[in-house]
Amino acid sequence: VATTTSDIRTASRFEVLRGVYAAGSTTRQALAAAGPLSFATVSNVVAELLDAGVLVETAYEASAGGRPRARLGVNAGRGRLAGVAVSETHVRVEVFDLALQQVSSDQRPLRLAEVGAEELVAAITAGVTTAIAGSPAERSEAPGAGRDGAHESGVLGAGVSLPGYVWSRSGAVPLFDGMGAAGGGALGGRLARELGLPMVTDNPLKAAALAELWFGAGLGARTLVTVTLGTGAGAGVALRGALLRGATDSAGEWGHTTLVLDGEHCRCGARGCVEAYVGAPAILRRWGRPAADELTGMAELAAAVRAADPVAQSIVQEIGRYLGAGLANLVNIFNPDIVVLGGWVMDQLGEWLLPAARATAAARALARPFAATTIQRSLISAHRTCLGMAAFALENFLRDAGVPSSRSTPIPVRH
Amino acid sequence: VATTTSDIRTASRFEVLRGVYAAGSTTRQALAAAGPLSFATVSNVVAELLDAGVLVETAYEASAGGRPRARLGVNAGRGRLAGVAVSETHVRVEVFDLALQQVSSDQRPLRLAEVGAEELVAAITAGVTTAIAGSPAERSEAPGAGRDGAHESGVLGAGVSLPGYVWSRSGAVPLFDGMGAAGGGALGGRLARELGLPMVTDNPLKAAALAELWFGAGLGARTLVTVTLGTGAGAGVALRGALLRGATDSAGEWGHTTLVLDGEHCRCGARGCVEAYVGAPAILRRWGRPAADELTGMAELAAAVRAADPVAQSIVQEIGRYLGAGLANLVNIFNPDIVVLGGWVMDQLGEWLLPAARATAAARALARPFAATTIQRSLISAHRTCLGMAAFALENFLRDAGVPSSRSTPIPVRH
């Protein structure tokens, strides 16, 4: 969480951009008034973003006694960004315009624990290529737009989320070392070559946190916790806009914290982990009906709850109770302003899980931090991880377009 | 974790001061070479600290072909700082010189859950007055040194740690609202008036984290977790030198996270909390021998372990296992560089608890973050909370001595 001159430039740029995204259309004056930056800083940053073609002046409005004020907006057509979420069961690609509106997508099955690096790279490359081909800008481009296209309305970069761990039968296998927004190891380099795009990789929990921070309920939160419920369970944390990463970029593994000492076996090798109770396989084991795959099984459980099936109803209550105890732990540890839950299990079961979880958390968390916390479902309509990875790709593009300072002087901030 | 111009000044000052504390005696050149600050920044900050009388130039050393380099040290005699730890069972005061070496102390019993604000303020005031009277500077001062004494070798301030919650029979009662390094509510104001000193209050978990950050094992750690084991159990977290506080300053309540769902009743009203297994009352309940007070009981348990009493030995193994599972949760959530354990229960039982806890954590935490983490006992010989509170008081003194900027422009830092 240190700052350097270049970090401050970068942070100011994101601050402005977030302000424009949040407002849709705004002015330099409004950005300065609403945010922490001075008018001079806002003006400098806006000038850079206009130069880079990321922002455009869309109109002028009269100002009392002064010069007309320019309205600013994101130049949606400046280029596209691909956000890729590799989960344990499939590869999902969403392509966004620069306003971070989804323009096309692709989804293909992939059993992550069963494939090698070859197949993984091939699946991601195929998904990205297909999704890009299906996006409007590409379809309307003349054949051979080639490099010019890449500069005008082409794809500015891709962000690929990969789980920090792949869970094989033999336990937790780290997929990457030193993964992070900047890197991705050997596999990341290979992907970048195959895709022929500037690329970043990161962990899906971090992507979810970034998506909420930029476009979701976390906008403006000082202490934001995001929870993602799918095959696995995990948390992302942002403190005053900076993601919590930890020593080796694996912070947020809430899914593998013990909730029930000596409880259910977890695929990580330990017992009683949160994920062993609220992860999709645990939920479906409780439900006990065979299904073609997890997604189908979960949809069937949701349908049964909706049809007032008492077994299904009691299952979502039980799962909600485990979830609530796990959320109470996050509330007590982080004392967050807001906890935002997403992921495909929340999409399916959230309307029942959330009230049950909230009631349990209310009973178990300390009263004061619980009262200070809003617990809610994600309001993001796009795939949250894909959106977050596209935002990482945008950060990367802007960083490349910037002028980094040559001397890095991190300064620890106030206590 | 935002930065403002004044925050950066403040942070630079602490960075320099920490460097001098760590080195004992050093030079501007060595500080610039070892730390993140430029030589120019180090020089500016050193000039300020020399002006404030906090640093002194102690000697000059020859430099190859250049001007002689001044050696810098802390001006220990510049003044004293009082660090006060209010726990559930007593009030401990330690007085430090400006080199943060303890010069005197006072300890008196106080049943926090049973006293009102009057008695609390009286006990703290008596403790601080007694400890100050017992410190060498005071004893050698001529009677009537008065205000001059306060400026030369007097007490520059006090830091008082108060638990965020007082646990009465009816559950958790917040002692303060909006507590923090800067405040302390109505009780804080009253204390400041009684003591007649610049005063700060904070939570003991934050004080422990600050002490480790400045003087302990956390020096230089990017992600530091401190654990305090006493009557209660809790954690402090520092991320790149900044304390994690949360929305209402209660982050770190790890002692009240669920470890054993539906397990032992905890005084917070929930069940199965970490504290319900590793807090002193839980340990002594397991041991089952009556004792005059917790401290005596714990010393007797320690003596029994040392005498190879099999019951006592199996108890520390059991407690170590619960502690280890709780530490594994912290490792998975924060992915820290280092976890430092302190508190009076660690002082008594640490030599047995720590190996047992480490073995359990190794088996339960994810392999990669566990491998990246050092788990160790605190190396601080002073009372950790008192030392941390004295450091907060020093921060406060330096802040008052500084020139804060008039415009606060927090800037979110990089992701």
Q: Does the model's ipTM exceed the 0.90 cut?
A: no
Asked whether the beta carbons of residue B246 and residue A223 sit closer than 8 angstroms, the reply is yes
Asked whether the beta carbons of residue B251 and residue A335 sit closer than 8 angstroms, the reply is yes
Highest mean pLDDT among A161-175, A185-199, A207-221, A382-396: A382-396
Question: How far apart (Å, rounded) are the C-alpha atoms in residues B398 and B392?
Answer: 10
pLDDT at A183 over 50: no
Place of tokens 């940053």: A45
Asked whether the beta carbons of residue A257 and residue B329 sit closer than 8 angstroms, the reply is yes
Asked whether the beta carbons of residue B244 and residue A241 sit closer than 8 angstroms, the reply is no
Residue B259: pLDDT band (50, 70, 90) is very high
Cα distance between the two ends of chain B: 12
Q: Residue B405 has what pLDDT?
A: 28
Q: Mean pLDDT throughout A142-162?
A: 63
pTM of the model: 0.88
Q: Mean pLDDT throughout A362-366?
A: 95
Q: Mean pLDDT throughout B78-96?
A: 93
Question: How far apart (Å, rounded) are the C-alpha atoms in residues A415 and A12?
Answer: 22
Q: Residue B139 has what pLDDT?
A: 52
Q: Mean pLDDT throughout A259-280?
A: 96
Asked whether the beta carbons of residue A334 and residue B363 sit closer than 8 angstroms, the reply is no
pLDDT at A286 over 90: yes
DSSP of A269-316 = S-BSBTHHHHSHHHHHHHH----SSHHHHHHHHHHHHHTT-HHHHHHH
Q: Mean pLDDT throughout A245-269?
A: 93
Minimum distance, in Å, between the CA of residue B50 and any CA atom of chain A: 21
Asked whether the beta carbons of residue A7 and residue B413 sit closer than 8 angstroms, the reply is yes
Question: How far apart (Å, rounded) are the C-alpha atoms in residues B176 and A373?
Answer: 18
Q: Mean pLDDT throughout A13-31?
A: 88
Report which secondary-structure segment, H or E, holds A17.
helix A5-23
Q: Residue B177 has what pLDDT?
A: 40
Mutation target to probe the A interface, by most A beta carbons within 10 A, among B161, B258, B318 is B258
Average pLDDT, chain A: 84
Residues of chain B with Cβ-Cβ distance to A367 below 8 Å are 172, 174
What is the radius of gyration, based on Cα positions, of chain A? 22
Minimum distance, in Å, between the CA of residue B60 and any CA atom of chain A: 28
Minimum distance, in Å, between the CA of residue B336 and any CA atom of chain A: 6
Cβ partners under 8 Å of residue A189, min gap 6: none
Asked whether the beta carbons of residue A242 and residue B373 sit closer than 8 angstroms, the reply is no
Q: Residue A186 has what pLDDT?
A: 64
CA angle, corner A399, sides to B369 and A183, nearest 5? 30
Question: How far apart (Å, rounded) are the C-alpha atoms in residues B301 and B315?
Answer: 9
Minimum distance, in Å, between the CA of residue A134 and any CA atom of chain B: 31
Asked whether the beta carbons of residue B261 and residue A260 sit closer than 8 angstroms, the reply is yes
Residues of chain B with Cβ-Cβ distance to A183 below 8 Å are none
Report which secondary-structure segment, H or E, holds A25.
strand A25-27
Q: Residue B149 has what pLDDT?
A: 37
Q: Given its phi and psi angles, is residue A342 left (phi above 0), alpha (psi -120 to 50 degrees) or beta?
A: beta
Give CA separation, B246 vs A50, A237, B202, in Å: 36, 11, 14
Cβ partners under 8 Å of residue B207, min gap 6: B83, B85, B159, B161, B236, B384, B385, B386, B387, B388, B389, B391, B392
Number of H helices, E strands in chain A: 15, 15
| Closest residue to B10, CB basis, from A337, A372, A414 | A414
Give the chain A residue nearest B41 (alpha carbons): A409
Cβ partners under 8 Å of residue B404, min gap 6: B6, B9
Q: List the single range of A3-7, A9-13, A21-25, A354-358 with lowest mean pLDDT.
A: A3-7
Residue A357: pLDDT band (50, 70, 90) is very high
Number of H helices, E strands in chain B: 15, 15
Asked whether the beta carbons of residue B261 and residue A407 sit closer than 8 angstroms, the reply is no
pLDDT at B23 over 90: no
Q: Mean pLDDT throughout B400-410?
A: 39
Question: Each residue of B42-71: pLDDT tens digit?
Answer: 999 999 899 888 999 988 877 777 777 889
3-class SS of residue B306 = helix
Asked whether the beta carbons of residue B334 and residue A246 sit closer than 8 angstroms, the reply is yes
3-class SS of residue B179 = coil
Q: Residue B27 has what pLDDT?
A: 94
| Closest residue to A364, CB basis, from B8, B258, B407 | B258
Render the burial of A176-213: b for 16+ CB within 10 Å, e for the rest. Answer: beebbbeebbebbebbbebbebbbbbbbbbbbbbbbbb
Minimum distance, in Å, between the CA of residue A148 and any CA atom of chain B: 31
Q: Mean pLDDT throughout B312-341?
A: 98
Question: How far apart (Å, rounded) are the C-alpha atoms in residues B69 and B47?
Answer: 14
Q: For residue A81, what are its two tokens?
A: 């960004």
